[in-house]
């Protein structure tokens, strides 16, 4: 249960709150992940003399790319060349690899267009239009009347209808994005590209040089870059909106911008909600990640092939574990939640005596109630629906099964992931020819069963039903080895044939997911009605109060949609007083390798060893800035005031791990590959003459 710790506000607290409010407002002048249509223009002009013209903003927006694997990118040539991180593209590199040709180990370069490799299920999206649909969504919820759950269902149905209508009428991929946790709703329309081909990737040894030891650290010495190309109608995309590449690079203190797609933050959560994250949600996530990391380590130790096929899963789990641990460390500092409570006191003082005071109080109570209800449902909701992690084949089976149930319905009454607006992307993933490895699938499904047995007990009715009288590993082997869903053609035929084809197939994996789909749907609906709908209503009230107090000076939490952050190239001082310089050099890479000789994570690829004598070692390689980023920003371009790319964002420092809930300009830093180091590596280490020429070709000046 979540206990309320709110106290009455006396005169002294009000005075302190107002001082706190003034401090918060000024201290956050450079903080923020801003919507393209609501940039902090006055602040940027006052501090830096920079004016973001509508033409400049549009050019940045239409050069930015959202990547389906969960990262960001940018178009950097007139022929549809897309730049992102190696670790964003690594999932695709793994899918394009074989035991005989491991692209993650060897890297890849296409010297001609004919050599570029088609990616099986990669989707790139470019934001084209944004429409405010808040009134339409809220009107539907209001018209539903009745309970919070009924309003929530009406809201979801309205969103689905808006998306499908927009998708059909505009021809653009359409998504309604919830902002301010329910304070506003914007319709985002994207140009969608599914013919994407690999152009260049370095070896993982240099893209992730330093491994887990240096992850979230700085100084860094990583060539964490990857290049793809968008094709349209069989030809490279002719792009009128692409970024200019800077060869001169950035200087210390220079103003820079990051345009990318930050995934998820909780900075507008109530203090009680953040305390719930600290005490319940994040510890639960951390335990799950530690478990997964240990099990993947054991699986990978079996053979070189086991290590190869599980490498991407392992990296993702390891990276997430470190990020969650960093966030939890920050949350466990009592000053953090205390400061958020002070901000709430400040907000209430600022709106005292106005309708906003009642809105904030009511909203906060509704959020608290949603958290209490979540505790009753979470043990069923997470394993069955919220985080159904039973392997690729089980996920495929669930999609095939649910398509047979959802497609006969009207689009706006389906589960959102099966609406007309979502189908094209879903089908691309569902019918992907990417390899599926039975050995890894058996392990993942067995781990799912074991986790359920350990948390619920082996005699639990649900566990007994899923295991069907067998051990977790035996049951997993039976399902994985018995299914035919590894074949994309089989999946396609089953979807086309619908419920009748599924019933006739007698596929064990389909029968397995069907056996508890009713229970899974039920707990999902309960979660939506009791937790999500109540939380959305509560945060909508809180958002209204914030708007009343701050106007448009509040940026929404991240939603994996396009945002801009601004900052400067700057190092920082650590807690121990050490000064960290803003740049590293190519030469520092070799020094770091020598210092950690014998550690496999610091072994340079042969290409870099061979090129050492030819490289200008003083060339900047990685850099840090004060830009405000979070997971999902990986692959974002860092640009100067001219719109020239000066860096490629790939990480944050350890101090940035608290960025889900708080930003501290004194020590939070964004880590990027410097364009000068990237260009020198392409030219000298990889002899990528064609790529260098394309990147440095004269380009039109941004208006």
User: Could you tell me if 616 and 538 lie in one domain?
Assistant: no
What pLDDT does residue 21 have? 42
In a domain, 294, yes or no: no
d(CA 137, CA 178): 10
Average pLDDT, the chain: 92
Last residue of a domain, one of 500, 528, 553: 553
Number of domains the chain contains: 2
What pLDDT does residue 699 have? 66
Least confident of 8-17, 63-72, 305-314, 579-588: 8-17
The per-residue pLDDT for range 388-422, each reduced to its tens digit, is 999 999 999 999 999 999 999 999 999 999 999 99
Share of the chain above pLDDT 70, in %: 95
Q: How confident is the model at residue 700 (pLDDT cuts 50, 70, 90)?
A: low
What pLDDT does residue 701 have? 55
In a domain, 689, yes or no: yes
Single out the residue of 32, 135, 25, 144 nearest to residue 540, CA to CA.
135
Kindly give, in sequence order, each residue whose CB lies less than 8 Å from that of residue 460, ignoring residues fewer than 6 positions away. 452, 453
DSSP per position, 175-203: EEEEETTTTEEEEEEEEEE--EEEEEE--
For residue 185, how far is the Cα from the chain centroid? 20
What pLDDT does residue 702 have? 56
The per-residue pLDDT for range 133-192, each reduced to its tens digit, is 999 999 999 998 778 999 999 999 999 999 999 999 999 999 999 999 889 999 999 999
Kindly tell me if the per-residue pLDDT of 110 is higher than 60: yes
What pLDDT does residue 488 have? 97
Q: How confident is the model at residue 553 (pLDDT cuts 50, 70, 90)?
A: confident
d(CA 64, CA 73): 6
What pLDDT does residue 9 have? 35
Per-residue pLDDT, averaged over 7-28, amounts to 38
The per-residue pLDDT for range 492-528, each reduced to its tens digit, is 999 999 999 999 999 999 999 999 999 999 999 999 9
User: Could you tell me if 670 and 601 lie in one domain?
Assistant: yes
User: Could you tell me if 574 and 545 lie in one domain?
Assistant: no
What pLDDT does residue 571 have? 96
d(CA 466, CA 516): 8
User: Could you tell me if 398 and 544 lie in one domain?
Assistant: yes
Last residue of a domain, one of 538, 553, 568: 553
Kindly tell me if the per-residue pLDDT of 2 is higher than 60: no
Single out the residue of 629, 627, 651 nearest to residue 209, CA to CA.
651
User: Could you tell me if 492 and 636 lie in one domain?
Assistant: no
Per-residue pLDDT, averaged over 217-244, amounts to 96
Q: Is 312 helix (H, G, I), strand (E, B) or coil?
A: helix
Kindly tell me if the per-residue pLDDT of 582 is higher than 60: yes
Q: Is 562 helix (H, G, I), strand (E, B) or coil?
A: coil
The per-residue pLDDT for range 607-641, each reduced to its tens digit, is 999 999 999 999 999 999 999 999 999 999 999 99
Single out the residue of 677, 699, 672 nearest to residue 259, CA to CA.
672
Query: HEC profile for 87-104?
Result: HHHHHHHHHCCCCCCCHH
User: Could you tell me if 87 and 224 lie in one domain?
Assistant: yes
User: Could you tell me if 405 and 452 lie in one domain?
Assistant: yes
User: Could you tell me if 644 and 670 lie in one domain?
Assistant: yes
Per-residue pLDDT, averaged over 593-598, amounts to 96
The per-residue pLDDT for range 37-79, each reduced to its tens digit, is 999 999 999 999 999 999 999 999 999 999 998 999 999 999 9
In a domain, 62, yes or no: yes
For residue 318, count other CB atoms closer than 10 A to its CB. 18
User: Could you tell me if 618 and 502 lie in one domain?
Assistant: no
Q: CA of 550: how far to CAs of 30, 317, 503, 546, 554, in Å?
A: 16, 39, 57, 6, 7
Give whichever of 11-20, 209-218, 244-253, 494-503 has the largest mean pLDDT. Answer: 494-503
Last residue of a domain, one of 522, 553, 584: 553
Expressed in percent and rounded to 5, the helix, strand and coil fractions of the chain are 55, 15, 30
User: Could you tell me if 655 and 684 lie in one domain?
Assistant: yes
What pLDDT does residue 14 have? 34
In a domain, 405, yes or no: yes
Integer Rg of the chain from CA? 25
Per-residue pLDDT, averaged over 676-693, amounts to 97
Query: HEC profile for 145-156?
Result: CCCHHHHHHHHH
In a domain, 345, yes or no: no
In a domain, 304, yes or no: no
d(CA 688, CA 491): 40
Per-residue pLDDT, averaged over 268-292, amounts to 95
| Residue 134 structure tokens | 């808040």
Q: How confident is the model at residue 28 (pLDDT cuts 50, 70, 90)?
A: low
The per-residue pLDDT for range 561-581, each reduced to its tens digit, is 999 999 999 999 988 889 999
Query: HEC profile for 398-460?
Result: HHHHHHHHHCCCCHHHCCHHHCHHHHHHHHHHHCCCCCCCHHHHHHHHHHHHHHHHHHHCCCC
What pLDDT does residue 496 have? 97
Q: Could you tell me if 670 and 624 are in contact, meaning their C-beta atoms sit under 8 angstroms apart?
A: yes
What pLDDT does residue 48 have? 95
Single out the residue of 178, 286, 265 nearest to residue 668, CA to CA.
265
User: Could you tell me if 529 and 569 lie in one domain?
Assistant: no
In a domain, 614, yes or no: yes
What pLDDT does residue 698 have? 73
d(CA 593, CA 601): 9
User: Could you tell me if 459 and 589 lie in one domain?
Assistant: no
What pLDDT does residue 463 have? 94
By residue range, what is the domain housing residue 399?
A: 382-553
Single out the residue of 220, 258, 314, 71 nearest to residue 653, CA to CA.
220
Kindly tell me if the per-residue pLDDT of 480 is higher than 50: yes
In a domain, 644, yes or no: yes
The CATH number of whichever domain residue 680 belongs to comes to 2.40.10.120
């Amino acid at each position: 249960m979540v206990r309320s710790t709110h106290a009455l506000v006396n005169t002294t607290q009000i005075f302190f709150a107002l001082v706190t409010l003034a401090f918060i407002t000024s201290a956050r002048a450079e903080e923020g992940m801003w919507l393209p249509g609501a940039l902090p223009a006055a602040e940027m002009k006052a501090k830096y003399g920079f004016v973001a013209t509508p033409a400049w903003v549009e050019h940045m927006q239409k050069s930015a790319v959202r990547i389906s694997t969960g990262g960001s990118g940018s178009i950097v040539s007139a022929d549809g060349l897309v730049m992102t991180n190696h670790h964003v593209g690594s999932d695709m590199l793994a899918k394009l690899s074989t035991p005989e040709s491991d692209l993650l180990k060897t890297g890849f370069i296409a010297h001609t267009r004919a050599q570029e490799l088609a990616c099986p299920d990669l989707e790139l999206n470019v934001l084209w239009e944004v429409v405010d649909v808040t009134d339409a969504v809220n009107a539907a919820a209001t018209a539903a009347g009745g309970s919070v759950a009924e309003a929530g269902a009406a809201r979801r149905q309205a969103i689905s209808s808006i998306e499908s209508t927009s998708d059909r009428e505009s021809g653009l991929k359409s998504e309604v994005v919830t902002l301010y946790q329910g304070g506003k709703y914007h319709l985002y329309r994207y140009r969608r590209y599914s013919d994407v081909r690999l152009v260049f990737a370095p070896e993982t040894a240099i893209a992730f040089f330093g491994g887990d030891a240096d992850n979230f650290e700085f100084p860094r010495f990583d060539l964490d870059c990857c290049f793809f190309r968008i094709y349209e109608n069989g030809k490279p995309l002719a792009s009128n909106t692409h970024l200019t590449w800077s060869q001169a690079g950035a200087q210390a203190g220079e103003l820079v911008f990051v345009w990318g797609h930050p995934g998820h933050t909780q900075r507008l959560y109530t203090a009680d909600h953040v305390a719930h994250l600290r005490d319940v949600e994040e510890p639960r996530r951390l335990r799950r990640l530690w478990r997964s990391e240990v099990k993947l380590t054991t699986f990978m130790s079996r053979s070189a092939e086991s290590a190869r096929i599980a490498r991407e899963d392992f990296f993702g789990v390891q990276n997430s574990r470190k990020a969650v641990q960093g966030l939890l460390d920050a949350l466990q500092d009592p000053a953090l939640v205390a400061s958020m409570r002070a901000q709430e006191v400040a907000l209430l003082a600022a709106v005292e005596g106005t309708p906003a005071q009642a809105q904030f109080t009511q909203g906060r109570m509704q959020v608290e109630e949603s958290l209490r209800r979540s505790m009753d449902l979470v043990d069923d909701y997470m394993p069955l629906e919220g985080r159904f992690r039973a392997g690729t084949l089980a996920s495929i089976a669930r999609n095939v099964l649910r398509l047979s149930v959802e497609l006969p319905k009207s689009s706006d009454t389906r589960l959102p992931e099966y609406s007309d607006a979502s189908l094209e992307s879903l089908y691309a993933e569902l019918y992907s020819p990417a390899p599926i490895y039975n050995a890894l699938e058996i392990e993942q499904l067995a781990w799912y069963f074991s986790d359920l047995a350990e948390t619920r007990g082996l005699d639990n009715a649900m566990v007994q039903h899923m295991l069907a009288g067998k051990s977790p590993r035996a049951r997993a082997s039976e399902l994985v080895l018995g299914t035919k869903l590894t074949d994309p053609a089989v999946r396609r035929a089953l979807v086309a044939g619908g419920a009748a084809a599924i019933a006739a197939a007698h596929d064990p994996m389909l029968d397995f997911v069907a056996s508890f789909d009713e229970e899974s749907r039920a707990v999902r609906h309960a979660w939506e009605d009791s937790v999500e709908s109540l939380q959305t209503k509560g945060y909508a009230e809180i958002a209204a109060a914030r708007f009343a107090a701050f106007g448009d000076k509040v940026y929404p939490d991240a939603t994996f949609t396009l945002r801009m952050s601004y900052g400067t190239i700057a190092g920082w001082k650590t807690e121990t007083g050490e000064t960290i310089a803003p740049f590293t050099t190519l030469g520092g890479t070799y020094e770091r390798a020598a210092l950690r000789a014998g550690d496999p994570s610091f072994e340079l690829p042969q290409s870099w060893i061979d090129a050492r004598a030819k490289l200008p070692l003083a060339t900047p390689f990685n850099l840090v800035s004060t830009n405000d980023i979070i997971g999902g920003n990986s692959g974002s371009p860092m640009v100067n005031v001219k719109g020239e790319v000066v860096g490629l964002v790939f990480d944050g420092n350890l101090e940035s791990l608290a960025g889900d809930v708080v930003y501290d300009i004194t020590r939070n830093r964004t880590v990027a590959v410097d364009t000068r180091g990237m260009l020198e590596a392409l030219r000298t280490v990889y002899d990528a003459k064609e790529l260098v020429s394309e990147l440095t070709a004269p380009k039109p000046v941004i208006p």
